[in-house]
Amino acid sequence: MNRKSIRILLAIIMVIIIQVTTITGVTALASKGDFTIQNGVLKAYTGKGGNVVIPDGVIEIDDEVFRDCTTITSITIPDSVVTIGDRAFQNCSGIKEITIPKGVRNYGYSVFSYCTGLVTAIFEDGLEIIGPTMFLGCTNLKTVYISETIKSIYTCSFSGCEKLQGFIVDPESRYFEEVDGVLYWRNLAAIYKYPQGKKQTTFNVPEGVERIINQAFSDCVNLTKIKLPESLIEIDALAFTGCKNLDEIILPQNLQTIDVWAFNECINIKSVYIPASVYDIHGGAFSACSSLESYYLDNANTTYTSIDGVLFTKDKSVLISYPGGRNGDYEIRTGTTEIGEFAFYNCEYLTSITIPDTVSAINEYAFSECNNLININIPDSITYIGEYAFSNAPLTGISDNSVSVLKRLYKGNDDRWYENIMYSKKILESNNNITGQWLNPGNYVGIDYGGTNISRISKDIEMLS
């Protein structure tokens, strides 16, 4: 066969392949012409979607390269990739399964966030970390396969995965294990993540667990009762936040610490009994619990006490937490010297507060989000007001003397005035000596998805000149 005949034969074969592909509906693979690659970094994708295979030799996928590429139905990442940038595949809603190859060592934030079609995620052996907010808002993610080498997982990686049914862990893993789909540290030392989509309404944390990791049960709205083991020592930040149907929680007798926002927005809890062993309750541990009526304390507790159901330090000098389910007026007891962080945070039914002249400090977020708090007196004894102490509290009935105290504390410092007072008609009407008036500050409290820290996030701000 001569060369001309070979060329004709190859041309016929190519025509047949194209015709078969068209008839069977097979989606063409992305070509190298669909990618912009510079020095091993994938900078852009301009293809039409379908089954996308990233070229071998790519070392890094840059930030947001495939963001909002909703027509991609599958993605193949080569073993050569070491780094995946921020939001690289965010909102690729057509992808149903993803395998992260063993060569990846560095992740940005929210790599696969809001991939709402994603059902399965597989991590190959060799990977060591599951990055922050990696699968945030992947509402159809059901199963996550954890390889032997994974040793660090950001629990916030699975926030908003409302259909997550379970984890499957390589039995050779030295760091994690699973029982009935629930993720634990090895040897059940700590519970790491309870799948948000599990349907059961009750759960018993196994005896031997000493710690509940931050966000372990966040937004598990199907749970109504959780039994905690006597071995439990620590409850981390945000551990049970958003468990809106949890109506009973019994804290065990060996518990020592309850971190910030541990039970935030557990709106059906009506009372909390704190055992003698607890010595460290962080501000906001029970914030936004809108049905909570009372704290009860073991008399043997040497750090805290309850006065008419309100949580104070044992010496009664610091008001730690006011139950969020109470309504109407409240008069803080004389002798109190300090109002703690988040002490009244989101007490949405509170309308009036009386502060005695023994109080010298109102700490951060103390009355933040008290949306119906109209009347408050701020005595001359106050020498310190923390950031966002009154954010989003209307305070329209604030006394003239209170306004004078605030002016004395913050005159000449507009930002500080703004941060602490945010919005009050009466203050705005009275602050002619202060330049810059602010209205509608929006929401100023957010969660740092790295784990446990509370950060200040401002939005929807309007300045009136």
For the chain, which residues make up each domain, given as ranges? 30-197
In Å, how far from its chain's centre is CA 387?
A: 21
Catalogue the long-range contacts made by 257-261 (C-beta closer than 8 Å, 24 or more residues apart): 257/233, 257/281, 257/282, 258/282, 258/285, 259/214, 259/234, 259/235, 259/285, 259/452, 260/284, 260/285, 260/342, 260/452, 260/454, 261/237, 261/285, 261/287, 261/447, 261/454
- With contact defined as beta carbons under 8 Å apart, do 219 and 241 qualify? yes
- Tens of each residue's pLDDT in the chain, 465 residues: 444 443 443 343 343 333 333 333 333 344 568 999 999 999 999 999 999 999 999 999 999 999 999 999 999 999 999 999 999 999 999 999 999 998 898 889 999 999 999 999 998 888 888 888 999 999 999 999 999 999 989 888 999 999 999 999 999 999 999 999 999 999 999 999 999 999 999 999 999 999 999 999 999 999 999 999 999 999 999 999 999 999 988 999 999 999 999 999 999 999 999 999 999 999 999 999 999 999 999 999 999 999 999 999 999 999 999 999 999 999 999 999 999 999 999 999 999 999 999 999 999 999 999 999 999 999 999 999 888 888 888 888 888 888 788 777 765 554 554 445 544 434 444 444 433 333 333 332 332 323 333 332 222 222 222
Distance between CA atoms of residues 420 and 391, nearest Å: 6
Q: How far is CA 214 from the centre of its chain?
A: 9
Cβ-count burial 301-339 (b if 16+ within 10 Å, e if not): bebbbbeebbbbbeeeebbbbbbbbbeeebebeeebbbb
Question: Which segments within 156-247 are labelled E, that is strand?
Answer: 166-169, 176-179, 182-185, 190-193, 202-204, 211-212, 225-227, 234-235
The whole-angstrom separation of Cα 274 and Cα 289 is 16
CATH architecture of the region 30-197: Alpha-Beta Horseshoe (3.80)
Residues paired with residue 120 on neighbouring β-strands, in sequence order: 97, 143
Of 308, 284, 261, nearest to 366 by C-alpha is: 284
Contacts of 200 (CB under 8 A, 6+ apart): 222, 223
Return the SS3 of 99: strand
Q: Which two tokens stand for residue 348?
A: 């949405």
Could you tell me the pTM of the whole model?
0.81
Residue 414: helix, strand or coil by DSSP?
Answer: helix
